[in-house]
Amino acid sequence: MSAVPVDRPRARPPSVERILAIVRTEKPPASEPAALTDLVRSVIAEERKRLEAGAPATSDQSLADAVVERLRAFAAPPRLAAINATGVIVHTNLGRAPWPEEAIEAARAAAGSLLLEIDSTTGRRGARLRLGEEHLIALTGAEDALVTNNNAAALALAVGLAGRGRGVAVSRGELVEIGGGVRIPEVIRRAGARLVEVGTTNRTRAADFEAALVDGKARLVLRVHPSNFRQAGFTETPQPRAVAELAHRHGALVVDDLGSGALLPTERFGLAHEPTPGERLAAGADLVTFSGDKLVGGPQAGFIVGRSDLIARLRRDPLARAMRPDKVTLAAVAATLGLYRAGVAAVRVPVWRMIAADVVEIGRRTAIVAEAIGPGATVVAVRSTIGGGSLPGETLPSAAVAIRAAGTNGRSLDRLLATLRVGSPVVVGRIEEGRALFDLRTVDPAADQALARAIRAALDVERAARPRAPRSNGR
Ligand SMILES: *Cc1c(COP(=O)(O)O)cnc(C)c1O
């Protein structure tokens, strides 16, 4: 809001009628009177709080402008898009995987009406959009597949197969916290099962599972991919195949929670090998669960692949309905997985495009962006990370635009990043060693110029806000 001269000093905000009268002269969008009055009331309530906190009064005209601005903003789709310049490819707090164009298009179409539960050949009621599940079956070699809201739901559903009060055996090295405070022992307890701990924190052998499996003590072995941390030193984890053989000999099921679950070979991109759902099924897992929005690179979803008799039981579970995704997600899942089946995932799925991006090309783009920003921006070599609980410790060489802090404390950088967080478009970078860094690996090349403009504008704001900078209208 611009600094309009204050009408008169006052301790109390203006009346609703007074602001309404000004708003009406501004020809606001045709809104219901009640909605308009509510907005005026909330703007006045905020002004009252500011006055109580000792702030100078805002002019009536500015309050009315704020009302009109909000009417227009609320009537338009919220502008939420952000440029991820953090260098974290799957950034959980930025919405994890950005969707492929094909997924966005499919979701947009599915937002209207579609044959969601109508069989196109018979015209009768049919299974809920199966295309994504058919792709999963083809991509993993599974007998059947089920799509849920997220992998946490998939995991909870699968663990429920153990049965109420029955044992679920987990290596002590895999009793992890997935994120957001969700811990494996609690997932098992909430599923109504009982945790049977196996082995030690650093070393668990296949033979350690024997004691947990004798006499049907544990009905299910759960393997959890340690996706967000890495163990080093004196460690040992059992071979999936050996555990599966032991479990099956004792009549127990094996559920393998892969977390991220890659559908392309990560080693092809210079990364450590990330287990694929197909290879874990081949190693004897009865069910494998993984996320749709980590390395798969699509919408938030959980995938369960494996034995058809078990998937059929999960489909019948009343909880499955509470965990089922909506039509938009199912459409976007089908579109994303279709790109893998077409063999074009590495070039069309943004997560893989970012992973595969050539560091020389990233450096070239970074130089152009730094040049466009002007003085104060330099190009530095950095390392990008995969993020999103995938491939912990693995990094990729990248390049970033660096902005040095003005002065000796880092406050100017905090202010710069804060300005960028409320800009349009929003830009998110990171601070490292006294510099603000904007890593181009995670930026869509089509957004390079917008990124440069946003940083340049934020630098102008930051320079103007510096205490020593003279301002004609400063107080
Ligand atoms: C991320 C993750 C989950 C949770 O998946 P969501 O799709 O976020 O619900 C579960 N297990 C592991 C091992 C994970 O890495």
372 and 387 in a single domain? The answer is: yes
In this prediction, residue 469 carries a pLDDT of 47
Strands in 430-432's sheet, in edge-to-edge order, are 377-385, 395-404, 435-439, 430-432
Q: What is the residue-wise DSSP string for 247-258?
A: HHHTT-EEEEEE
Residue nearest to atom 7 of ligand 1 (CA): 151
Reduce the DSSP state of residue 78 to 3 states and report it: coil
Q: Other CB atoms closer than 10 Å to residue 345's CB: what's the count?
A: 22
Our answer on whether the CB atom of 323 is closer than 6 Å to any ligand 1 atom is no
Dihedral of the CA atoms 183, 185, 186, 191 (nearest 10)? 130
Our answer on whether the CB atom of 227 is closer than 6 Å to any ligand 1 atom is yes
Would you say the C-alpha torsion 183, 186, 191, 193 has a positive or negative sign?
positive
Q: Kindly give the distance from the C-alpha atom of residue 452 to the centroid of ligand 1, in angstroms, as a whole number.
A: 34
343 and 359 in a single domain? The answer is: no
**Number of domains, the chain:** 3
Q: What is the CATH number of the domain that holds 122?
A: 3.40.640.10
Instruction: Enumerate residues 6+ apart whose C-beta is below 8 A from 122.
Output: none
Q: Tell me the CA distances in angstroms from 308 to 152, 258, 314, 317, 473, one per residue in order.
A: 20, 19, 10, 14, 72
314 and 439 in a single domain? The answer is: no
In a domain, 300, yes or no: yes
Q: Kindly give the distance from the C-alpha atom of residue 335 to the centroid of ligand 1, in angstroms, as a whole number.
A: 21
- For residue 32, the enclosing domain spans 24-75
In this prediction, residue 31 carries a pLDDT of 84
In this prediction, residue 231 carries a pLDDT of 84
327 and 419 in a single domain? The answer is: no
How far apart, in whole angstroms, are the C-alpha atoms of residue 448 and residue 399?
A: 13
Q: Is the pTM of this model over 0.75?
A: yes
328 and 359 in a single domain? The answer is: no
394 and 323 in a single domain? The answer is: no
Cα-to-chain-centroid distance, residue 369: 26
Mutate to test the pocket of ligand 1, among 227, 258, 386 (most ligand atoms within 8 A of CB): 227
Q: What is the pLDDT of residues 120-147, one digit of tens each?
A: 899 999 888 999 999 999 999 999 999 9
Our answer on whether the CB atom of 289 is closer than 6 Å to any ligand 1 atom is no
In this prediction, residue 467 carries a pLDDT of 66
Last residue of a domain, one of 59, 75, 91: 75
In a domain, 80, yes or no: no
In this prediction, residue 27 carries a pLDDT of 78
H-helix or E-strand spanning residue 47:
helix 33-52
Q: Kindly give the distance from the C-alpha atom of residue 299 to the centroid of ligand 1, in angstroms, as a whole number.
A: 13
Our answer on whether the CB atom of 222 is closer than 6 Å to any ligand 1 atom is no
232 and 375 in a single domain? The answer is: no
| Atom nearest to 260 CA in ligand 1 | 15
In a domain, 180, yes or no: yes
In this prediction, residue 159 carries a pLDDT of 96
Q: Which residues of the chain have pLDDT under 50?
A: 1, 469, 474-475
In a domain, 381, yes or no: yes
Residue with the two structure tokens 């909605």 = 35
